[in-house]
Amino acid sequence: VDCFFERRTSTAPRARCCSDAMVLEATIVLLDASEYMRNGDYPPSRLEAQQDALNLVGGAKTQSNPENSVGVITSGGGKGVEVLVTLTSDIGQILGCAMRVKPGGTSNLMAGIQVAQLALKHRQNKNQRQRVICFVGSPVAEDQAALVRLGKKLKKNAVAVDVVNFGEDAENAEKLEAFISAVNNDDNSHLVTVPPGPHILSDILISSPIISSNEDGGGGMGMGGGGGGGG
């Protein structure tokens, strides 16, 4: 489990082109759109902190390889699980969709991941590795055993998962650690816990394996990169 507490010096998230190895990957970003996203403990709010982080992740993924694709799904917002953008390399679509998210209701992490897995299964380029990046900023209602079963299924289907645990980080830690332990395959999946504080969420992610693992197609900061490309 990777915890990042340091304050970064940059004041705004910037997507960075940081790959020479050109890892080929399809990534679904799952945003938390629950009522909890109105909270201001991650300035300016949990929702806007996610939007900035999506800017960073989307830019890093599409810049590291022009054939990479990113999709965006939300869980919550009073609409259950909603696909905002299907897999695309168009950074404008990726960044623009987050502005339409309105917080409300509760988030269903497992349902969101299952929709993300289905979207990855139907990706056009089967050579792309599969990855889901989940932002979890509200209490995880799902049973830990069910999350572990889902993690094992994802591992079997060569889907890597990164989880950003923020907002309700202490409450969710045990469940998310068990989930990542189940899905992890040769250090290709990561849990990044970000406690509230003066730092900016996206600034913390810049130095995390979620972004730095793009650098060598494997493991930034000694951690693993993408999973396999099974269908």
Tell me the per-residue pLDDT of 111-157, one tens digit each, with 9 for 90 and over: 999 999 999 999 999 999 999 999 999 999 999 999 999 999 999 99
- Rounded Cα gap, residues 23 and 17, in angstroms: 12
User: Which range scores top for mean pLDDT: 84-88, 215-219, 221-225?
Assistant: 84-88
Judge whether residue 221 has pLDDT over 50: no
Please answer whether residues 64 and 23 qualify as being in contact, where contact means their C-beta atoms are separated by less than 8 angstroms. Answer: yes
Confidence band for 198, pLDDT divided at 50, 70 and 90 = confident
pLDDT, residue 77, reads 87
pLDDT, residue 80, reads 92
The mean pLDDT value for 46-61 works out to: 95
**In the β-sheet with 129-136, what is the strand arrangement from edge to edge?**
2-3, 190-194, 159-166, 129-136, 25-33, 69-76, 81-88
pLDDT in tens, 150-167: 999 999 999 999 999 999
Q: H/E/C letters for each residue in 155-172?
A: HHCCEEEEEEEECCHHHH
pLDDT, residue 214, reads 54
> Exposure string (b/e) for 211-223, b if CB count within 10 Å is 16 or more?
bbbbbebbbbeeb
Confidence band for 23, pLDDT divided at 50, 70 and 90 = confident
Confidence band for 89, pLDDT divided at 50, 70 and 90 = very high
Judge whether residue 99 has pLDDT over 90: no
